[in-house]
Each structure stands twice: as structure tokens, then as C-alpha cells.
Chains A and B, each alone.
Chain A
Amino acid sequence: MLRRSKGFAGLGLTLLGPSLLLAGCVQSVGPMDWVGPVAGDQAEAQRWVTWYLIYLGAAVFVFVEGWLLYNIIKFRRPLGPGRLPPQIHGHPTVEVLWTVIPTLIVAAIAVPSVPAIFSFAQPPDEAGGLRVEVLAHQWWWEFRYPEVGPGKTITVANELVIPVGRTVIATLSSADVIHSFWVPKLAGKVDVIPGRQKNRIWFNAREPGEYYGWCAEFCGTQHAQMRFRVKAVPAAEFEAWVRARLSPPPEPEEGLARRGFELFGARGCGGCHTIEGTPYQGKVGPNLTNIGGRSTVGAGVLENDPEGRGLFRWVKNPQAVKPGNKMPYLGLSDEDVLAIVAYLKTLR
């Protein structure tokens, strides 16, 4: 079913169809577009089903609206005084006909969807999959890798690094309210529920790349800016990343970064954030051990550019960037912010 999609889309191109949608089919509109090219097996199957529905729906649409328009045009003339149109009250045969035909259409939709539903519930590679724990917070994401080494767990925030091609099996839990885990290019949504129900989602990335993730269940003030990225890298690169993450980054010895390291403690940052290998072991906010190497700041809100402008804006006043988020405005001077940013940039 997955492989047939390309041929299906090609066939569709030669048939009638809304041209705007076709534009979205052949080239990706953006990183959230899930009816254009996608990168995961689940997303591919879902895309296939959706296009199947779009074409079926278009046929029904054309038929019904066509008949409506036909009636409007054909029967618009007045008959003149003393004449009435035929007083037809109904016709049992056509009633049966237009009960049976929609039933067949529904069956044509329902039957192929059932195997897909079951395939999404069962990871294709249960034993060999990479285990990940997702812990959603208002309004950021925590990711843990529990099986990377004996007794070792890697904890990162807002950017999940995965190896290309390997099935990822994620266990979802929430620290507060209901969220929803969604990476449209890789797989559909699964909700993240607080309490005892731990949902599971599996996905894979066929190609290397950076995929957009988004919280898809309304979760309060900053629901709109609870985003993340999934970075798919080749297996060897993933192994290297794991090794690097298992040894904490060195403490800066001198210069601006050193001052930033000290300020990080003096201004209380370490009370909320963890940086491994340092005294800073706060558990309230995101783990910052690799913040310098991540693509975004503030849960997918700002680009983490090489000059550190994004980090500067965030540390200077997180409430201006993401009003209502749980990191307070600290009133730091520009010099202090620059120092802290210089330190954070060293954490890769």
C-alpha cells in the first residue's frame, strides 16, 4: 500500500482535481505539509489514504453539486398560471439505490483503512526499535533515551535526534495537562495524557533531515509555541552524537564564557535548568546540556543562529518572546546576557 502511492499520485495528476491541492501534492508547501512529500512510513500511509479520500470525495462533490446546478438551471422557468409541476411524492427504487450507493462508498473507505489502523498500533520492529521517552510540559518537550548505555540515560529538550531508517518507539507522558505529539512529515498525532495512561507512538525517518514537531492539543496560554524538531541523522552520526552526549561538555576556563558560567549560577538559572557535569541540576525547565548545538530556542520559537541573537533575545526577556511561559524575566543587563549566551554557545 505504501509503495503504490507514487503511482496513485501520478495517475491523479492526469485526472481532474483541484489544482491548488495538486500543487501541494507534487512539491512540499512547507515543513508541516503532510499531503506533499513526507518522510515516514506512517505519514506515507496516511497521506495515501488522504489522497484516496480526496479523489473519492471530489467525485461525490462533483456529482452532488452538479445535480444541484443542473436542477437550478434546468427548472428555473415559471410554468405559467394554472399549471403545476408534476406532484411527485417519491420513488422507492431510487430511495433504495441512493441508500445502497453511499453504503458501498463507505465500505470502499472503511475496508482499506482497517489494516492501516492496526499497523499504526504495532511497531514494525518491536525488538530492534530505538526506545525514547517523551515527557511533555507546558510548553516544551523533554526527551529521554533510556537504553543508550548500561545505567545511562540521555535527557534533551525540544530536539529529538534519531537515526535514519530505524524505527523509533516513543512512550508519551505529560507533566501537567494533555498535549499531542505530532511530527506531520513522519507520523500522525498521538495524545500525551497525564496520569497512568502512557500512550505509544512509532515512527521512522526515511531520509536525513530536520522535521518540524508541534503540540497539537490545546494546552493553555502558549499552546501555539510548543514546538520541537526531530533531527534524523545517519546511524554512525547518531552513535557519535550519543557518545558525545554521554560525556558532559567541559567547563569554560576563562573569558566571557567563564563569566557566563558563573552568572548561570549567580542569577539562579541553575535552580531550574540542568547542565550535566556542573553543579547546575535544576529539574523545572529544559535540560540545557546541548543547547549550543540545537536548532531552536524556546521550544521551536526562535532560530538558534550562530551569532547567538536568538539566545540573546530569549535570555534577555523570555516573556517578550513567549508571553506567559514559565521562565521569568530576570532583568539581566545586556553584558550579563551576552556572557550567558557565550557560555550556552559552548554547550554542544
Chain B
Amino acid sequence: MATVGRAVGVTPRPGFWGYLWSWLTTVDHKRIGIMYGVTTLAYLLWGGLEALLIRLQLSRPENTFLDPNTYNQVFTMHGLTMIFLVVMGFNSTLFNLVVPLQIGARDVAYPRLNAFSYWMFLFGSVLLNLGWLWGQAPDVGWFGYAPLTGVKADPGLGPDFYVMGLQALGISSVAAGLNFVATIINHRAPGMSLFKMPVFTWMALLTSFLMIFALPVLAIALIEVMFDRLFGTNFFNPDAGANPLLWQHLFWIFGHPEVYILVLPAMGVISEVLPVFSRKPLFGYSFVVLSGVFIAFLSYGVWAHHMFAVGLGPVANTVFGITTMLIGIPTGVKIFNWLATLWRGELRFKTPMLFALAFIAVFTLGGISGVMHATVPSNYQQTDTYFVVAHFHYVVAGIVFAVFAGIYYWWPKYTNRLLDEGLGKLHFWLFFLGFNLTFGPMHLLGLWGMPRRQYTYPAGLGWDFWNAFESASALLMALGTLVFLVNAVKSLRSGVMAGADPWDGRTLEWTIPSPPPAYNFAEIPAVSHRDEFWARKYGPHGERAQARAASRPLSGHNPGDGHGVHIHLPNPSYYPLIVAFGIALGMFGAVMLRPVEVGGLGPLGWALVGFGALITVFGSYGWSFEPAG
């Protein structure tokens, strides 16, 4: 074949290396989204494995399956993996896969920067996990409270990998945030005013702003820890007069907006899925959007609710308790609007809908326990117990329901194949039952005084049964995830063909073929309605439903499907990969500046730092002068 192709002068079909090269150099938001998705899925399995190790260790009192240092590494890495690599990774996945299609754009505003974000994310995630090779993964908790991260308390490499890994991931997030703000502000199809934008895109916009403003605070705090560890500064050293609480303030000024960075996109997914599977518009669109805006603003004013026990005094605690409770109001507004969306709808219980409904169910409980934490007197007892563990799993692990809803919903757009409904429902029920039976009893354990972050606990304190029960239940979640993997493979091999609009969708992504062509939209659509596609099919108020049932007009028609039309698409580029690699190598070099006795290279680490810097400079130079094509 190939020889024939050559003989007639056609470009030969690319081989494996050519195919790989096309992915390494891609700047297409769809391919970048797929790479994010695959990476994130791998980390979901990795973080899940860490969770199972935790549950195995805690399945009975005084277990010796893991020694304390290993356990501390495992629970730290479980948290970091699930927050920074899985949930944030899925956000980036969905932003890339969905936002440009929803706003009728051909790509993001800065395609090469987008590729850079992905490569930085990948290398950062590797850097964060690299400590395992030394047997010294981060072991200070995902919150890394000073002075436990100081060289005196922790002379190993764990905190260094923590600092550098998070720093790299932060660079990725800020770049992605800037990119998506620019994309959503500038690249909307004509006619799509802000209040005609799909809610998922709205939440992506808010999340992007949160990332731009929250992560630099973490960056500064991490640089201070790095200087303390590498160069002997005293930002957080109490022996030299520092107040280590400074770290907590900086960390949570980042850390609480981070919680909304995690959850707002999930709320966006729910706001897309519910209307489609209720065949009704989202109830109270502007209230859902504005309560998201309100949450985003408030999220910067509540950080000290993580610090009620540190001794800020009653006035500060009262103020932060009340600001935190205020967040419950817009959250409640969202939940009520979702319920009203279902009300009088025509509910279709496809797998995405099941996951979306489950998100509402578990998120409600997470919200209630959240308000309980915000109540300071109760918080003094609850904080640092399993009640908190229950709470944030109902919220953050609850986000995984929205993630799965999103995957089942948008999967056919990218594969042109449906996921199997039978396996999907099995996945759902295993996961939903496993989730509640694992994290539900943690509420009880917390009220019964079981503290967090403990590798062991004595028998006879009333905790034994429910710990064993939770450990067994966790297996159901693992099983559910495996069913999903089977479903994914099955769908790719032999799934039912989906077509352009398998769910009777409402937004622009369902107007184009599945999978979308490289240029997305042959013609940029003109938008005149919220839920533009639905309005085109049924009329803005559903008045054409009868006519449509009779005629079934072609969905997925992409007018003038690109043939003969010149569409400018950006050229592939390997510079984003090179720059990200250079930065990550330099950061690894900074870890290696630690003394030889603990596993570093000492001053030789500067060679790595310098080499990384050289690659970065070279890559940036090439990037800057790359022809636009």
C-alpha cells in the first residue's frame, strides 16, 4: 500500500513514530484534552490504589501492613494525587474537550500555551511522584504544615518533591487559566453574549479566574519553603522567631479557592446534563450562574475556617465562621435550581443522568456537614477527625460522580460510540453503593472521636467494626471503576455508533459531527439563543416539537463541511514540550540540591538546574520565533 502511495506521489501513511510525533507536537485542543484525559484516568487508578492501601492498613486495629513512614507517604500522595492530578486533571480534560466546542470556536486562544499546560501538568505529576523511587515520597500531608516541612523535622527528600511538584503543577494551572479566560472572553461565536453561554463554560471561566488568582499565593509559599530548605532562610522557622502559622494562612488562601476550583466545573457538568436528560431548560439559569460567581468571590474570604483551632481568637473565628456559612446559601440556590430543573421534566435515566443525580444526592450531604464545620464550637471537636474526612470525600470524591457524568455524556462526541448502558448502570450502582458505604460511616467514626492521619488505632474504642466495614466497601468502588474500564475498551472496539447528537443535546457541540473535525466548525455558527441547538430543533419555547417529531431533521449537519473552504489551523509545535521539559528538569535539579546523605546530589544539582534552564531558554527562543504558519 505504502509503495503504491509513494508511487503515485501521495504522502505515505505515517507509521508509529510519525503518529507519536503528531501527538507530541499537537496544539489541537481536542488531542490535548484526550491526553489530559488518559493521564488523569491513569492517576485515578494510581490514587485509587493508594486509597486501597490506606483502607487495607486501617481495616483492623494495630495493623502492621504498612509501617508509619510508608503510611504517611501513601495518605499524603493519595490526597495530592486525587486533588491535583485527578480532579484538576479532569477539569482540564473537560475544559479542553468541551469549552471550544460549546462556544463555537476552532481552538483555544493560545494553542501552544495549551500544549505547554499539558506537558507541564504531565512533568509536574511525575515530579510529584518521583520521590517513590527514593522511598521518599512527600509525607507531610497535602497541606504540608510548617515547620514539619523544615529540614530539621523532615530531612528527607519528601518535602522537596512536594514543593517542586506542586510548583510545576501550579505553572500548568495558571497557564491554563489564562488561556481559558482569553478563549472564553474572545472566541465565543457571534451572538453568544455572556448570558447565552452554556453553564459549563461559565463555570470554566470562573474556575480559570480562581486558578489565576489562587495558585500564585501557593507559588510564593512554596518558594519560601524551598528557600528555607535549600538556602537556610527562616520564613517558617520558629527557632529563629518565625510564626509557622504564616504557612497556614498562605496555604489556605490558596487552598480554599482550590476547593471551588475543584467543584465549580462539576457544578457546570451537572447543569449541562440535567436539562438534556430532563428535556427542559435549566431552571433559573442566571441564578445558577450568579451563585457560581458569588461562590467564587466568597471563596477568598473563608480560608481561616481551616484554622479555627490555631488560636486566632474569638473575633476572627466568628467572622470566618459566618463568611463560610454564607457559602451555603448560593450552594443551596444551585441545588434547588437543579431540583426545579427536574421538576415536571421528562427524565431519562441514562448513565450520565444517574451520575448527575447521585452528585446532587451526595453533594447535599457534603454541604450540610460543611455548614456543621463552619459552626466554630462544633468545629473544635470535629476538626481533624474522620468527620472531616467524611465531609470532604462527600464533596471532592462526590465530584467524581460529576466527572463520570461528564465522561459518559461527552464520550460519544469524541469516539462516535456510546458507552454500554448496562455496564454503565453496573458501574454506577457499584460506585454509588461503595461510595456511601465507605464514606458514610466515617461521619460516625468522627463523632466517635477517631482522629485523621493515623496509621494505626487501638482496639476497643468503638471504631473497629466500621473501619473493617469501610475497607470492604471500598472494594465496591474499585470494582465499579474496573467495570468502567471494561466499558471504555468495549465501547472503543464495538460500541454502538453514536452520531452527532445521541442525547438530543442543547448546546453547540452536538451540532458538529462526532468525532469533531480538526477545525471543529466548518462555519462559525451565529448564536441567537441560550441552548442554541435546542432552539434550532424545537424552537425557543418548544413550539416546533410536533413538527420535529414528524420530520426528524438531520442533526449534526455541518454546513459546508470544510471541503474547499480554507480554514486556518495552527501548526504543530514541539517547543511547548521542550520548554515544559526544561522547567521540570530544572526543578528536579533543585530537589537534587539536597545533600548526598539524604539521596540528593549536593552542589552537583546545580548542573541539572543549569541544564534545565538552558533547555528552557532554548525552547522559549524557538517558541518566540516560530513562524506562525
Report which A residues bind B (CB closer than 8 A): 20-21, 24, 29-36, 42-43, 45-47, 49-50, 53-54, 57, 60-61, 64-65, 67-68, 71-72, 75-79, 81-91, 94-95, 98-99, 102-103, 106, 109-110, 113-114, 116-118, 120-121, 138, 176-178, 180, 182, 184, 187-191, 193-197, 199-200, 212, 214-225, 323-324
- Chain B residues with CB under 8 Å of A102's CB are 328-329, 332-333
Other than the given A57-B372, A190-B311, A223-B453, 5 more pairs (CB < 8 A) read A35-B448, A88-B283, A110-B375, A218-B140, A225-B456
Does any Cβ of A come within 8 Å of B457's Cβ? Answer: yes
* A64-B339 in contact (CB<8A): yes
Q: Output the least CB separation between A120 and chain B (Å).
A: 7
Does any Cβ of A come within 8 Å of B72's Cβ? Answer: yes
Chain B positions 448 through 467: 1 when the CB is less than 8 Å from some CB of chain A, otherwise 0? 11111111110011110000
* A85-B369 in contact (CB<8A): no
* A191-B456 in contact (CB<8A): no
* A30-B383 in contact (CB<8A): no
In the bound complex, CA of A329 to CA of B241 (Å)? 34
* A75-B281 in contact (CB<8A): no
* B371-A32 in contact (CB<8A): no
Does any Cβ of A come within 8 Å of B345's Cβ? Answer: yes
* A189-B380 in contact (CB<8A): yes
* B375-A53 in contact (CB<8A): yes
Does any Cβ of A come within 8 Å of B216's Cβ? Answer: no
Contact of A89 among B67, B68, B278, B281 (CB under 8 A): B281
Known: A90-B287, A106-B328. A78 touches B346 (CB 8 A): yes
Q: Output the least CB separation between A155 and chain B (Å).
A: 22
* Docked complex: B310-343 residues within 8 A CB-CB of A: 310-311, 313-314, 317-318, 321-322, 325-326, 328-329, 332-333, 335-337, 339-340, 342-343
Does any Cβ of A come within 8 Å of B567's Cβ? Answer: no
In the bound complex, CA of A216 to CA of B141 (Å)? 13
- Chain B residues with CB under 8 Å of A225's CB are 456
Q: 26 A-B Cβ contacts within 8 A?
A: A29-B462, A32-B450, A42-B380, A50-B372, A50-B382, A57-B368, A61-B365, A71-B343, A75-B345, A85-B279, A85-B345, A85-B346, A87-B281, A88-B340, A95-B337, A98-B336, A99-B333, A102-B332, A106-B326, A109-B371, A120-B380, A121-B314, A177-B145, A189-B383, A200-B311, A220-B154
* B461-A221 in contact (CB<8A): no
Known: A57-B369, A72-B342, A224-B68. A46 touches B380 (CB 8 A): yes
Does any Cβ of A come within 8 Å of B361's Cβ? Answer: yes
Contact of A194 among B238, B310, B342, B357 (CB under 8 A): B238
Interface residues on B, range: 35 or more
Name the residue of chain A whose CB is nearest to the CB of B331: A102
- Chain B residues with CB under 8 Å of A32's CB are 448-450, 461-462
Q: Output the least CB separation between A12 and chain B (Å).
A: 14
Known: A35-B448, A87-B541, A106-B326. A195 touches B377 (CB 8 A): no
In the bound complex, CA of A297 to CA of B400 (Å)? 44
- Chain B residues with CB under 8 Å of A60's CB are 364, 368
* B284-A110 in contact (CB<8A): no
* B342-A75 in contact (CB<8A): yes
Does any Cβ of A come within 8 Å of B104's Cβ? Answer: no
* B153-A176 in contact (CB<8A): yes
* Docked complex: B242-279 residues within 8 A CB-CB of A: 242-245, 278-279
- Chain B residues with CB under 8 Å of A20's CB are 444
In the bound complex, CA of A219 to CA of B384 (Å)? 12
Does any Cβ of A come within 8 Å of B147's Cβ? Answer: yes
* A33-B462 in contact (CB<8A): yes
In the bound complex, CA of A50 to CA of B374 (Å)? 11
Known: A120-B377, A324-B69. A33 touches B449 (CB 8 A): yes
